[in-house]
Structure formats: structure tokens, C-alpha cells
Amino acid sequence: DIQMTQSPSSVSASVGDRVTISCRASQDITRWLAWYQQKPGEAPKILIYAASDLQSGVPSRFSGSGYGTDFTLTISSLQPEDFATYFCQQASSFPYTFGQGTKLDIK
Amino acid sequence: QLLESGGDLVQPGGSLRLSCAASGIPFNSYNMGWVRQAPGKGLDWVSYIDSSSTTIHYADSVRGRFTISRNNAQNSLYLQMNNLRAEDTAVYYCARLPRGDIWGKGAAVTVSS
């Protein structure tokens, strides 16, 4: 199975800050990576697919990069509604696996 | 666009069938799956089925106990869960996979005596 490791597991930031979350795969997944945002009591919401493609309707302050084993989600200027938990997920091979999550909270 | 139902409290060893009704989307052309989330935990992929039910995959933790199926004529996805364990307690989401752009709101399954 492919292991997905996110870092950090939690981060505190302020409105307007730039935040970067990393995700590392235990083997090459080319571009088969998605990023999700989840708020308490809600279903996950996709932000980025294919490592760097912005899902329609998602603000452009979200961006993704990476290829192979190392990937990054960047939020360029945090907004109040961005405080949530973020997950990466690989879809290169079964079983699909998720990172453990990164909780982003207000400093 | 996706609405799960069938979640309940069930005793260990019991069975439950989850349903996911699709509306407003071309369900019969979408690959689908189930993802669960235990209380306070992360996301855990459970199962996958392609649009024609030709390809099916399961997580090791549920293989042999859970069965995924679909009825394209009724725009519905199912998860039959047998021999349930306490560790199956979670909110179960149906979702378009691997695209990940459409998710239901989830159905809560609690396995407890």
C-alpha cells in the first residue's frame, strides 16, 4: 500500500498569512493526488485534483504543486473561512489512501 | 446530488445496508466509492466500483465482510456491511471516485452492544 504522510499535523496562522502543507507518498504516484478541505460536521470538499488542477469554484488563493512523491498545497492569503482540516489523497493505485490530515487553526 | 441513507446503531456481528441515491448527475457514467470517517479521525477509503460494475476494490479491513454494488437504472449505490465490528463505527460517505468532486453528506453507523 502507498503511505501518505502530511506535515505538519497542525498549524496556527493568521488571516492574510501564506500557508504551505506538504504531502509525501511512499512511492511514485505521478500526478494522482488530490487535496481536500473538511470543516466539522461536513463532507470533504475537493480543492485540487491531479496535483495542481484547481477545482471549479475554488478560490485562486489555493494552489497545488508537485509530482512523483512530494506535493504541496499552498494558501496564498488565509481567509477566515479557510480554517479547517486538510487532507491529501492518492489515487494512483488501490487501496486509495489519505494523509492523516493537517488542522489549520487561528493563531 | 448524492444522499446516503441506512445508517443506524447495530450490534457487533450484525448487518446493515447503506444506500446512496444520486440525482442531477450522469450516475451511470461515474465511477463511485465509499469513504468513512471514524469519530475524531481522518478519512479512510472503503470501496470502489466502476461505472459498469466490472471493476471492484475493497480495503483490506472490510474485504470479505462488505459488498459494494450499484443499480444504474435506479441511480443508486449500495454498501452491504456484514459481521460488523466496533471499529466500523464511522460516518460513511458515498462519493464520485477517484475524481472526488461529488460527495454525499454521510450516513452514521454505530456498532455497539
- How does pLDDT run across A13-61, given as a tens digit for each residue? 999 999 999 999 999 999 999 999 999 999 999 999 999 999 999 999 9
Q: Please write the tens of the pLDDT for every residue from A83-97.
A: 999 999 999 999 999
In chain B, which stretches have pLDDT less than 50? none
Question: Which amino acid is it at A95?
Answer: P
Chain-chain contact of B43 with A43 (C-beta, under 8 angstroms): no
Any CB–CB contact under 8 A between B48 and chain A?
Answer: yes
pLDDT-based confidence at A106, cuts 50/70/90?
A: confident
Mean pLDDT of chain B: 98
How far apart are alpha carbons A76 and A85 in whole angstroms?
A: 16
Q: Which residue has the higher pLDDT, A107 or A49?
A: A49
CB contact under 8 A, A43 and B106: yes
- The band of A107, judged by pLDDT with boundaries at 50, 70 and 90, is confident
> Residue B18 has what pLDDT?
98
Q: 10 Å Cβ neighbour count for A4?
A: 21
Cβ density class A57-68: b for 16+ within 10 Å, e for less: eeeeebbbebee
Residues of chain A with pLDDT > 90, as a percent, come to 98
Amino acid at B44: D
Nearest CB among B59, B100, B106 relative to A49 is that of: B100
Asked whether B24 and B3 are in contact (CB, 8 A), the reply is no
